[in-house]
Amino acid sequence: MLSISHADLARMQDELLFDGPESGRKLSRYWTLLILSAVIATAGIVVDSTATVIGAMIVAPLMTPILGIVLSTVTGDRVNLVRSVVLVVTGAAAVVVVGWLIGLIWPVAIDASTSSQVAGRIHPRLLDLVAALATGAVGAFAMVRSDVSDTLPGVAIAISLVPPLAVAGVTLESGATDQAVGATLLFLTNVGAILLSGLVVMMLYRVYEGQYASTRTAGRGAGLATAIVFVALLCIPLSATSVRIATEAIERSDVAAVAKEWASTDGWIVESVETTPDGVEVRATGGLPTPSPERLRRELDDAGLSSVDVIVELVPSERVELDGR
C-alpha cells in the first residue's frame, strides 16, 4: 500500500512550506530567486534565446509554493495553505511587473512577431494541459519519494511557470493584450495541472496519515473538487484554441497543395505558406511573367476552399550567368 513515513512528511514540510524558525530565510531565498529568474526569463524572451529561458526555468522557485498548496490541502494545514496561495499570487504578479518594466526600457516592442519565445507561449492547447498534468504528477512524486528527487530539475524545465508570466509582462507593455491573455492562460493551465495531479499523487500516498490522521476528509475532497473544476474550466478556452490551430493547419496544408500545383505550371516555386490575421499567405518565387493570382483563386474555389482568404506574395527572380575569361 502506498504510504509515507513521518520523516518523509517532515522533509516535505521543510521543503515546501514557509513556516518555522527558518521562515525568514526561506522567504528571502524565494523572492531573490523569483526576481532573478524573472529577469533571466524576460532577457531570454527579449533576445529570443531558448537557452536563457531554460536557465530561468531551472532557477524559478514558483513550483515550491504551488506544491505547498497541495501539501497544505491534503494535510488540512489552513495557515500554510493561505500563506502558499498568497506567495503564488504575489509571486506571479511580481514576475509580470518585472517583464513589464524590462519591456518598458527595451527600445523595440516585444510580441509574437519579434520573438519566437513569445509566439510559442500565447496559444496553449489541450495537449499542453496533458503534458502539464503528467509533469505535475512527476513533481509531486519526486517530493513524496526522496529517492527520485533528482528529477526535479527536469520537472522545472518541462513545466513553464515564470516564462509565460514574463511574456505576459512584455506583451502588456507592447500593447498586445490578447497575447498577454494567452500567456496568462498557459500559466494558469500549468498551475491547475500541478494542483490536480499533485493532489491525486499525495492522496494516493496517503500523505495526510503521516501526521494529521484526524484531518477530516471533507477538506481534501473539497480541494480536489476545486482543482477538478478549475482544470475543467480551463479546458474550454484550451479546446477552442486547439480546434482553431488544427483548422488553420488543415487550411494551410490544403492551400499549399493547390498553390504548389498552380505555381509549378509557370515554373514558379512556393517558398512558404503561413497563417496570418488576414488569411493564409502564400509566398512564391520564379521568373517573369508572374503566374495569375486570379487563376489561383479559381483553383482554390474548385478545391472547396472558397471560404479561405488567401494573400499571394509574388517575388520575381532573374538568373544571369556571368562567364569568366
What distance in Å separates the CA atoms of residue 43 and residue 38, rounded to the nearest whole number?
A: 8
228 with 198: CB under 8 angstroms? no
Q: Which of 70, 268, 33, 305 is nearest to 156 (CA)?
A: 33
- Class of the 250-316 domain? alpha beta
What distance in Å separates the CA atoms of residue 261 and residue 267, rounded to the nearest whole number?
A: 10
In the sheet that holds 269-276, the strands lie side by side as 269-276, 279-286, 310-316
Listing DSSP states for 45-66 in one string gives HHTT-HHHHHHHHHH--THHHH
* Confidence band for 217, pLDDT divided at 50, 70 and 90: low
| Residue 142, helix vs strand vs coil | helix
Top-confidence range, 73-77, 213-217, 261-265: 261-265
Average pLDDT of the chain is 90
Least confident of 35-39, 282-286, 301-305, 318-322: 318-322
| Residue 270, helix vs strand vs coil | strand
Task: Tell me the β-bridge partners of 276.
Answer: 279
pLDDT in tens, 83-125: 999 999 999 999 999 999 999 999 999 999 889 999 999 999 9
pLDDT in tens, 219-275: 778 888 999 999 999 999 999 999 999 999 999 999 999 999 999 999 999 999 999
pLDDT at 209: 60
Model confidence at 214: pLDDT above 60: no
Could you give the C-alpha distances from 118 to 99, 175, 234, 271, 323, in angstroms and in order?
A: 12, 14, 20, 24, 47
Cell numbers for 67: 506544491
Q: Which of 69, 51, 59 is nearest to 95 (CA)?
A: 59
Model confidence at 213: pLDDT above 60: no
pLDDT in tens, 17-69: 998 888 899 999 999 999 999 999 999 999 999 999 999 998 999 999 999 99
The angle, 0 to 180 degrees and rounded to 10, between the axes of the packed helices 177-204 and 126-144 is: 40
117 with 167: CB under 8 angstroms? yes
Give the N- to C-terminal CA distance of the chain in Å, as an integer.
Answer: 86
Top-confidence range, 151-155, 171-175, 217-221: 171-175
Could you give the C-alpha distances from 26 to 21, 63, 205, 302, in angstroms and in order?
A: 10, 14, 26, 66
Secondary structure in 3-state letters for 272-324: EEEEECCEEEEEEEECCCCCCHHHHHHHHHHCCCCCCCEEEEEEECCCCCCCC
pLDDT at 20: 83
* Confidence band for 318, pLDDT divided at 50, 70 and 90: confident
* Confidence band for 218, pLDDT divided at 50, 70 and 90: low
Instruction: Detail the DSSP E strand segments found in 156-238.
Output: none
Residue/partner pairs of 209-214 with CB below 8 Å, 24 or more apart:
209/3, 210/3, 210/4, 210/5, 210/6, 210/8, 210/9, 210/75, 211/6, 211/9, 211/75, 212/75, 212/76, 212/77
Q: For residue 289, is the peptide bond before it cis, meaning its omega torsion is within 30 degrees of 0?
A: yes
Residue 276, Cβ density class (10 Å: 0-12 exposed, 13-18 middle, ≥19 buried)? exposed
* Confidence band for 159, pLDDT divided at 50, 70 and 90: confident
